[in-house]
Structure 1
């Protein structure tokens, strides 16, 4: 075993152990210190990034003769006026532009990502066992959402109770797989930090 002499390694080990100490010691002063330091560093990085954005996206284009940036600058400046008593109503206009533009762009992306692409992914040729299982699971889940609890007569008439139960099973399998993936991701992060402590710090 050979301990590391790199101060960066020791700093990383201190932060790692301080965060892990929250599991065993809820009111850990080390955890609070690291948390406060993290928030402070994040706030500082935010200020630096904001300054860089203003310099690169406002000052530099204006100095190069690109005056198309003036309208966004005016709208952004109007957001600051909301802190002036009696003039806070002016900030409603840039907020309206931001919300409407963001909603329009978000709606277009959402429709494409969550509806069109999902429908295309569900339309597959039934030439393999994987495609057949996916298609049957898709129909079962759709039946579960559309037929459960509201159209009991339809279920009884067409004997579709088995289909809704199959949809419930498919959903539970999907949720279980998603939860397992999340747990595996967190476990891999923990293993990575333990490996950092054992190899980089202790030299095992």
Structure 2
């Protein structure tokens, strides 16, 4: 359907894990997440999977400050051996943790805005720019850089995100996170609902 031939690629390379960056111990939230533990090390890619309703998404929304773990017996989260309890997502973003949502339509993009505005929104979320002072030239330069880096395809530079294909919309969502230069990126089903070509690129 895409006009291309895609083969399974074996590009993973073994590398030593660095220091422990994130530690999650016995976190719980109501009956959705129960006693979940894991650690993330610098330079490591970690995959987590589970059936629908297993609490996978909720676990990482707790880590990124979107959801709140139980107050008394909710477990512990440490970043660089420092206990953290994020009350709002912006606190996690300030610590270099970015959550890339699985639901791009309702949580990931501003459909009626352009690519540049969406990507620049990532900087605003990280507090890198002041919302009341927007440099149009800087915004266009940022958009050009990340549109090229992520191979975002649009009919023109002024296209609204709603006019993009699902795969290109997803690249915009990913770009919004990456422009923040995070230390930890949480990708929640990053290839959900996109075409096979975009899956290969992502």
Query: TM-score, structure 1 length as denominator?
Result: 0.16
Computing the radius of gyration from Cα coordinates, the structure with the larger value is: 1
Query: TM-score, structure 2 length as denominator?
Result: 0.16
Q: Could you say which structure has the higher helix fraction? A: 1
The one of the two structures with greater contact order (alpha-carbon pairs below 8 A, sep at least 6) is 1
Q: Could you say which structure has the higher strand fraction? A: 2
